[in-house]
Amino acid sequence: MANVKGEALPEGSQRILGRDAMRVNMAIGYAVANILKTTLGPKGMDKMLVSDLGDVVITNDGATILEEMNVDHPAAKLMVEIAKTQDKEVGDGTTTSVVIAGNLLKKAADLIDQSIHPTTVIKGYELASQKAISLLNELSEKVTLEDKDVLIKIAKISMGSKGIGSDKEKESISKLVVSAVEQVADKKNGKILVDHDLIKIEKKSGGEVVDTQLIQGVLVDKEIVNAGMPKSLKDAKIALIDSALEIEKTETDAKIEITSPEQMEAFLRQEEKMMREMVEKIKKSGATVVFCQKGIDDVVQYHLAKEKVSAIRRVKKSDMEKLARATGAKIVSTIEGLTSAELGNAGLVEERKIAGESMVFVENCKDPKSVTLFVRGGTEHVVSEVERAVVDCIGAVSSVLEDGKYVVGGGAIEMELGKKLGEYATEIGGREQLAIQAFAESLEAIPRSLSENAGMDSIDTLVALKNKHKDKDGVNYGVNVLKGNVADMKKENVLEPAKVKKQAITSATETARLILRIDDIISSRGRSGGMPGGPGGMGGPGGMDMGE
C-alpha cells in the first residue's frame, strides 16, 4: 500500500496497485463467502448480529446477514449486491450464490499466481457459466400448478435451512405458502406470473409457529373505530373510500364571522347535516363495512354505529389495494361516487384481539386475488425468522412456477454440473480449460459446505459423490445431511427451483468478473480514514488469510 505523491490525487490518498489490489479484493470476497458458508443447509448454524444501537438479529438468511453486517470494503459490498439481487429475483439461494462467488475468486487467485492473466480466467469463467446454464436446462424437470406435491416439497426444502421448528411445522407452512401462491398466480400467454405484493405477510409474536395461518382475504392491523359498531359481520358488503369522512378545513385562510348564538347553532347544524348526508350515502349504497384511507369524524362514527355499519380508518394505501383485489371492491375517491356497484364482498369481517392488539380479519372472500399469511411464533426473534423463511418459501415456489422447471438439491446438481464442466474443459483446451476446471471445483463448494455443516468428513463425501456421479444412475446423488451419508436426493424429495441455481451461477460469475478486472484501488478518504476495512471488523486489506 503506497501513498501516491506527484500525481493528481488529493493529499493523503492511498492506493493499492496491480496484483496486490487483486489479492485484496479476492481475499475479501472469499472471506465474506466463508462467513456465510456455515449457514448453508438444514444443519447450518445461525448468526447473531448486534447493531450499534444494540438491536439483535438472529438469522440464517444470507441476504439478511450481509445487510446487517454493515460491511465497509468495496469488494465486500459487491458480494452484498449478489445476495440482494438473488433475493429480489428469486427470493432464495442467497447463501449459495455468495459461496460460489467467493470460491470463484479463491480459485482465480490461485490461477493468477500461476501467471495466468485475469482476462483468460474471466473468459474461462464466462464459457463455464454459459455451459452450466445450458446443462441446467437439460438436467431440470418440468413442473406446473397442478403438481402440488412437487411444489410442497420445493417449499419445504427452501425452508430447510431456517431453524424454525420441526418437520411438521415446516410441512404445514409449506402447504399454506403453496396455497397462497396458487391463489394469486396469474396465467398470461401460457406463462405463470406471481406478484409477491399480493401475498401480505402479517406477523405477531405469541402462540406457536404451527398457529401460522392462511387467510383467504386481508388482515388489517387496525381496530374498528367505535365501540358501538358491530365487531363481527357475516356476508359483509365492503366500501373502500379514499377521502376523509369529516368536514375538510379549507386550504386557504378563511374567516367565518358569527355574531349571534343562532348563527353558531345554524353553522353547527349545517356541519352535522353534511356529515349525516355522508352516512346516508354510505347506507344507501348498501355497505356494511367501510375502510377509509383517511380520518373519520366522531359524529360520522356515531351515526354509522347507529346504522350498524362498521368502519376502520387510516388504512394504509397498500392495504386498500389488497382489499380491492381480495373483495372485488373498487376504491372510490369521493363519497358521491359510492354505489352498490363499487362494493366488494367478504364472507366474514371480524375484529379479534391477538396478543393484546385488535386486528380486523377480512376473510372467506370468493376467489380472492390477494391473500394474507398470518405468521406466529413464541418470541419476536422467532416470528422474524419465520417471516424470513416464509419470504424465501414464496420466492422459491413462485420462481419454480414462473420458470416451470426444478432440479435435484442436496448438492447433487452442483456435483453433476462440476463433472460435466470438467469434461467440457478438456474439449475447450488452452489456458481457458484451467479456469473452466476451477469453475467446476467452485460449484463443488456447495456439497462440501453441506457435508461440513452436518459434521461429515468433506473429503470422503466429495470422493463418494464423484464415484456415484461417474455412473449414469448416480446423477441425483447428493449429501443427505439428516442421515449423514450420500444418497439419491430425488428419492429423498430434496427438490429446488432451477431458476434459483441459474440466478446464483449468473450473479456469482458476473461479480467474479467485475472483481477480477480491478487492478487499482484508490482511496481518497484521507490519512485518518485509511483504506476501507474488511467485512464486519475483519481488519484492513492486508490482514486476510487466503487459506481455508
Q: Show which residues are catalytic.
A: 61, 94-95, 392
Q: How far apart are CA 315 and CA 298, in angstroms?
A: 17
Q: How far apart are CA 447 and CA 451, in angstroms?
A: 6
In one letter, which amino acid is 334?
Answer: T
Q: Compute how many other C-beta atoms are within 10 angstroms of the C-beta atom of residue 434.
A: 18
Q: Answer for the pair 34, 452: CB distance below 8 angstroms, yes or no.
A: no
Q: How far apart are CA 479 and CA 473, in angstroms?
A: 16
Dihedral sign computed on CA atoms, order 106, 409, 391, 170: negative
Segment (H or E) for 107:
helix 94-113
Beta-bridge partners for 372: 200, 215
DSSP 485-527: EEEETTTTT-EEEHHHHHHHHHHHHHHHHHHHT--EEEE-SHH
Q: How far apart are CA 170 and CA 209, in angstroms?
A: 9
Residue 215 corresponds to which cell in the numbers above? 387467510
Helix, strand, coil shares of the chain, percent, nearest 5, are 50, 20, 30
Q: How far apart are CA 303 and CA 278, in angstroms?
A: 10
Q: How far apart are CA 108 and CA 115, in angstroms?
A: 11
What angle, rounded to 10 degrees, do the helices at 261-285 and 298-306 form? 50
Q: Give the three-class secondary structure for 192.
A: strand
Q: How far apart are CA 49 and CA 535, in angstroms?
A: 13
Q: Environment class of residue 323 by beta-carbon count within 10 Å: exposed (0-12), middle (13-18) or buried (19+)?
A: buried
**If you count them, how many residues does the chain have?**
548
Q: Give the three-class secondary structure for 405.
A: strand
CA dist list (Å): 58 to 49, 155, 191: 6, 22, 37
